[in-house]
A and B are shown apart, each in its own frame.
Chain A
Amino acid sequence: MNKAKKGNMARLNRWGYIFLIPFIVVFIIFQLIPLVNTIYNSFFENYRSGLKQIGPNFIGLANYASLFTGGDLIQYFENTMIMWVLGFIPQIVISLLLSAWFTNPSLRLKGQRFFKTVIYLPNLIMTSAFAMLFFTLFADSGPINSMLMQAGILSEPYSFMSHVGSVRGLVAFMNCLMWFGNTTILLMAGMMGISADLYEAAEVDGATPTQIFFKITMPLLRPIFIYVMITSLIGGLQMFDVPQILTNGTGDPMRSSMTLIMYLNKHLYSKNYGMAGALSVMLLILTGVLSFIVFRVTASDQVKKVR
Chain B
Amino acid sequence: MGKNQYNTSEEPENTTTVHIRRAVAYVVLVLVSIMCLFWFYILFINATRSNGELGRGFTLLPSSYLGENMHNIFTGTIPVVRGMLNSFTVAALSALLSTYFSTMTAYSIQIYDFKGKKAIFAFILAIMMIPTQVTALGFVNLVNGMGLEDNFIPLIVPSIAAPITFFYMKQYMESNLPVSLIEAARIDGATELRIFNTIAVPLMKPAIAVQAIFTFVASWNNYFIPSLVLHKDNMKTLPIQIAQLRSADWLKFDMGQVYAMIAFSIFPVIIVYLILSKNIVGGLTAGGVKE
Contact = CB atoms under 8 A, between A and B. Distances in A.
B209 interface: no
Instruction: Report the contact-size class of chain B (Cβ under 8 Å from the partner).
Output: 35 or more
Contact of A124 (B114, B127, B269): B269
B232 interface: no
Given A37-B137, A132-B246, A303-B125, A125 B266 contact: yes
A37 B142 contact: yes
Contacts of B250: 136
| Interface secondary structure of A, over-half rule | helix
A101 B4 CA distance: 12
Interface in A256-272: 261, 264-265, 268
Contacts of A231: 129
B289 A126 contact: no
Most A CB within 10 A of own CB, among B2, B246, B285: B246
B111 interface: yes
Nearest to B24: A101
A16 B114 CA distance: 7
B11 interface: yes
A115 B33 contact: yes
B12 to A, nearest CB: 10
A189 B291 contact: yes
A66 interface: no
B130 A291 contact: yes
B221 A37 contact: no
Interface string B1-43: 1101111100101000010011001101100110111010011
A130 interface: yes
Given A126-B238, A143-B58, A107 B33 contact: no
Contact of A97 (B28, B125, B128, B193): B28
B139 interface: yes
Contacts of B152: none
Contacts of A193: 291
A12 B186 contact: yes
Sorting the interface of chain A by its residue count into under 10, 10 to 19, 20 to 34 or 35 or more gives 35 or more
A106 B141 contact: no
B281 A117 contact: yes
A16 B105 contact: no
A283 B58 contact: no
A127 B223 contact: yes
Contacts, number: 317
Contacts of B114: 13-14, 16-17
Interface stretch (A47-55, A68-76, A78-86, A234-242): A234-242
A224 to B, nearest CB: 7
A200 B8 CA distance: 12
Given A115-B33, A193-B291, A146 B192 contact: no
Given A290-B129, A306-B109, A118 B137 contact: no
B290 interface: yes
Given A19-B196, A26-B161, A117 B274 contact: yes
Contact of B113 (A35, A127, A133, A307): A307
A30 interface: yes
Contacts of A132: 242, 245-246, 258, 262
Given A27-B161, A135-B246, 11 more contacts: A26-B161, A30-B142, A38-B138, A105-B7, A129-B242, A129-B266, A143-B42, A150-B58, A186-B285, A244-B243, A291-B129
Interface of B: 1-2, 4-8, 11, 13, 18, 21-22, 25-26, 28-29, 32-33, 35-37, 39, 42-43, 46, 55, 57-58, 101-102, 104-105, 107-109, 111-114, 117-118, 120-122, 124-131, 133-142, 154, 157-158, 160-161, 166, 186, 192-193, 196, 217, 220-221, 223-224, 228, 238-239, 242-243, 245-247, 250, 255, 258-259, 262, 265-266, 269-270, 273-274, 277-278, 280-281, 284-285, 289-291
Question: Closest 3 interchain pairs by CB?
Answer: A16-B112, A34-B138, A37-B138
21 contacts: A12-B112, A13-B114, A15-B192, A16-B117, A23-B161, A30-B158, A31-B135, A101-B25, A105-B8, A118-B33, A124-B269, A146-B58, A186-B284, A186-B289, A190-B289, A190-B291, A224-B289, A280-B134, A283-B133, A287-B129, A303-B121
